[in-house]
Amino acid sequence: MKIVPVVLSGGVGSRLWPLSREFLAKPFLPLVDKEYSLLQQTVLRTLSLEVGDPIVVCNEVHRFLIAEQLQSIDVKKSSIVLESEGRNTAPAIALAALEALHHQPNDALMLVLPADHVIRDIAAFKKTIQQAVELANQGALVTFGVQPTRPETGYGYIRSGENFAVVEFVEKPNLETAEAYLDSGEYLWNSGMFLFKASVYLDELAIHRDDIFHIVSSAYQQRTEDLDFVRIDAELFSQCPEESIDFAVMERTNKAKVVPYLGDWSDIGSWDSLYDYADKDADNNVLLGDVMLEGSTNCLIRSESRLVAAVGVSGLVIVETADAVLIMDKSNSQGVKKIVKRIQNEGRQEHLYHTVVHRPWGTYQIVDIGDRHQVKRIIVKPEGKLSVQMHHHRAEHWIVVSGTAKVQNGDKEILLTENESTYIPAGVIHALENPENTPLELVEVQSGRYLGEDDIVRFSDIYGREN
The C-alpha atoms of residue 321 and residue 14 are separated, in whole angstroms, by 15
Closest residue by Cα to residue 228 from 446, 21, 66, 115: 66
What is the CATH number assigned to the segment(s) 3-261?
3.90.550.10
457: phi then psi, degrees, rounded to nearest 5: -105, 110
pLDDT at 234: 93
Q: Is residue 464 predicted with pLDDT exceeding 90?
A: no
The C-alpha atoms of residue 73 and residue 85 are separated, in whole angstroms, by 27
CA distances 209 to 205, 214, 253, 362, Å, are 5, 9, 11, 42
What digits encode the pLDDT tens for the residues 366-383?
899 898 999 999 999 999
* Contact between 94 and 212 (Cβ < 8 Å): yes
356-460: what CATH class?
A: mainly beta
How does DSSP classify residue 160?
E
* Cis amide bond preceding 435, omega within 30: no
pLDDT at 227: 74
Most confident region among 5-9, 223-227, 271-275 by mean pLDDT: 5-9
The C-alpha atoms of residue 61 and residue 352 are separated, in whole angstroms, by 11
Bridge partners (DSSP) listed for residue 231: 82, 224
CA distances 132 to 46, 139, 149, 164, Å, are 14, 11, 22, 10
Average pLDDT of the residues in 244-260: 96
pLDDT at 467: 61
pLDDT at 391: 97
pLDDT at 13: 83
Q: Tell how strand 79-83 and strand 109-114 pair up.
A: unpaired
* Contact between 350 and 343 (Cβ < 8 Å): yes
What is the layout of strands, in order, in the sheet containing 325-329? 286-288, 300-303, 316-320, 325-329
Average pLDDT of the residues in 169-173: 91
Helices 38-45 and 63-72: angle between axes, nearest 10 degrees: 50
Residues of the chain with CATH 2.60.120.10: 356-460
What digits encode the pLDDT tens for the residues 90-141?
999 999 999 999 999 999 999 999 999 999 999 999 999 999 999 999 999 9
Write the single-letter amino acid at 410: G
Distance of alpha carbon 350 from the chain centroid: 17
What digits encode the pLDDT tens for the residues 383-439?
999 999 999 999 999 999 999 999 999 999 999 999 999 999 999 999 999 999 999
The C-alpha atoms of residue 303 and residue 126 are separated, in whole angstroms, by 34
* Contact between 115 and 7 (Cβ < 8 Å): yes
What digits encode the pLDDT tens for the residues 191-207?
999 999 999 999 999 99
The C-alpha atoms of residue 274 and residue 116 are separated, in whole angstroms, by 12
Q: How many CB atoms lie within 10 A of CB 183?
A: 10
Q: Is residue 228 predicted with pLDDT exceeding 80?
A: no
pLDDT at 386: 95
pLDDT at 436: 95
pLDDT at 425: 97
Dihedral angle computed from the Cα positions of residues 390, 85, 271 and 276, in that order, rounded to the nearest 10 degrees: -140
* Contact between 358 and 352 (Cβ < 8 Å): no
The C-alpha atoms of residue 225 and residue 73 are separated, in whole angstroms, by 23
Dihedral angle computed from the Cα positions of residues 401, 404, 407 and 412, in that order, rounded to the nearest 10 degrees: 110
Q: Is residue 36 predicted with pLDDT exceeding 90?
A: yes
Average pLDDT of the residues in 39-48: 93
Q: Rounded mean pLDDT of the chain?
A: 94
Distance of alpha carbon 437 from the chain centroid: 29
Average pLDDT of the residues in 323-343: 94
CA distances 255 to 2, 33, 130, 251, 348, Å, are 21, 37, 18, 10, 47
203 three-class SS: helix
What digits encode the pLDDT tens for the residues 277-297?
899 999 999 999 999 999 999
Residues of the chain with CATH 3.90.550.10: 3-261
Q: Tell how strand 256-261 and strand 141-146 pair up.
A: parallel
Q: Is residue 1 predicted with pLDDT exceeding 80?
A: no
The 3-state DSSP composition of the chain as helix, strand, coil percent (nearest 5) reads 30, 35, 40
